[in-house]
Homo-oligomer: A and B are copies of this chain.
Amino acid sequence: MPSKQRDNQGSARNGSAYPEPVERLIETLARLPGIGRRTAERLAFYVLKSPAEEADRLAAALRDVKRAVRHCRVCYNLTQSDPCPICADGSRDRASVLIVEQPKDCIALEQTGVHRGLYHVLMGRISPLDGVTPAHLTIDDLLARFDDPSRNPGGVRPTEAVLGLNPTLEGDGTALYLAGELRKRGVAVTRLARGLPSGGQLEYVSRAVLADAIAGRQRME
């Protein structure tokens, strides 16, 4: 068999890389978080094999999401209209604000149908180890809602804050910080209850959950 006769440039021009559009797709996909080069190659080859309409659908979805979706200027929830439908809904209880870390938390809570007030999305939690300080979050805007009635839907200054942060070390730290700031402003501060997860089995629940459940035991009516 003939051996290396040709310079590498020649073979590179010919076939030692994917066609440019394939290479570009792989590189663009590999920039996504959690997607390595191998996964990006696999996805690119999937797209190559699937009908053009499927690629078009994904391309359109990517464009649309950046064009049509923004954060609500009041509560930072994701929305197509600004303010978002929850802030704009005059039938909701504007005196109560449930404070969460992420837009997806609003969705989970809304699905319960129990909270009838508004929301405020912090866009994260305070995390000194990751360099996330209150200034990186929407905490200034949250506090402004309690300082300045005009920053709220219908000009109603909320009087109750429900802390709905994740039950983690950082979520608890953020909740403590917010509780301090909010109490200074005379706001009634609560947090979501801790206890046994409904539908779970006591024997499989962690010691921390059991401790919460005992400490927060509720009177039977």
Contacts and interface: CB of A to CB of B under 8 A. Distances in A.
Contacts of A84: 15
Interface string A26-56: 0011011111000101111111100010111
A65 B25 contact: yes
B104 A41 contact: yes
Interface residues on A, range: 35 or more
A48 to B, nearest CB: 6
Interface string A91-116: 00100100000111011001101111
A55 B31 CA distance: 11
A103 B56 CA distance: 23
A52 B34 CA distance: 20
Given A11-B110, A80-B21, A55 B48 contact: no
A43 B46 CA distance: 17
- The quantity of this chain's copies bound in the complex is 2
A18 to B, nearest CB: 6
Contacts of A42: 33-34
B19 A69 contact: yes
Given A47-B62, A59-B63, 20 more contacts: A4-B113, A14-B86, A14-B89, A16-B113, A18-B104, A19-B68, A19-B78, A19-B80, A21-B65, A32-B43, A33-B46, A44-B65, A45-B103, A47-B65, A48-B65, A48-B78, A52-B66, A52-B67, A56-B63, A59-B59
